Amino acid sequence: MGKEICREGWSDRMIKKFLPNEHVKSIHDIDPENLKEKGIKGIITDLDNTLVAWDEPDATEEIVNWFRHMNNHGIQVTIASNNNENRVKLFSEPLNTSFIHSARKPLSKAFKKARKDMNVHKGEIVVVGDQLMTDVLGGNLAGLYTILVVPIVETDGFWTRFNRKIERRILSWMKRRGKITWEEGNGR
């Protein structure tokens, strides 16, 4: 009995590392005024299936407007992606935004670099992404506020498909335990 209680406490602590602070359907549901009220000055965002579909090379007009809207409210945005330099650079440069490629999320190095480059404190940053295994886990391990978005498309690259299988199990466990209340969508 004692071992079971101990194991349950450990699993609860581990699962919390995958639990986002917020869940929204789209990056467009993230309002700069609400962020400012929380003291947020910077966003570290994923690229693929967060800002655009993973196989879409350029920002849509809506994404260009979202970046402009954040900038107009004094919120810096850095793109941190596990994708290669060419992919991330070609997407980020037309937006005139900083980026980190080959980020190796969930490791904390990219989150620390983005925070340092933006010159903001931990409590002034949110991490936005579509994956529990990289974006949410990495942001939580770095001690940052995390927002999970529904993936833009249901298809994924090879490694992400693998992550999604694990992610579905974690989400199912969280739902059974009452840790999440949102409705799943786009494969969630």
The whole-number pLDDT of residue 184 equals 52
Query: Phi, psi (5° rounding) for residue 54?
Result: -60, -25
The owner of tokens 């079971």 is 4
Distance of CA 67 to the CA centre of its chain: 16
Distances from the Cα of 188 to the Cα of 14, 84, 156, 171, angstroms = 20, 26, 13, 8
CA angle 42, 137, 170 (to 5 degrees): 135
The whole-number pLDDT of residue 188 equals 40
Average pLDDT, the chain: 86
Mean pLDDT for the stretch of residues 4-12: 53
The two structure tokens encoding residue 25:
């359907």
Q: Give the start-to-end residue ranges of the domains of the chain.
A: 17-154
pLDDT higher than 80, residue 55: yes
The two structure tokens encoding residue 105:
């999320």
- pLDDT tens string 95-106: 999 999 999 999
Mean pLDDT for the stretch of residues 82-90: 95
The whole-number pLDDT of residue 78 equals 98
- pLDDT tens string 130-176: 989 899 999 999 999 999 998 887 765 566 666 667 777 777 766 77
Cβ partners under 8 Å of residue 23, min gap 6: 147, 148, 149, 180, 182
Distance of CA 75 to the CA centre of its chain: 16
pLDDT higher than 50, residue 4: no
pLDDT higher than 60, residue 67: yes
Name the pTM for this structure. 0.82
Distance of CA 126 to the CA centre of its chain: 8
The whole-number pLDDT of residue 18 equals 86
Taking alpha carbons only, the member of 136, 141, 104, 152 closest to residue 22 is 136
- How far apart CA 173 and CA 186 sit, in angstroms, is 18
The whole-number pLDDT of residue 17 equals 86
17-154 topology per CATH: Rossmann fold (3.40.50)
Instruction: Sort strands 22-24 and 42-45 into parallel, antiparallel or unpaired.
Output: unpaired
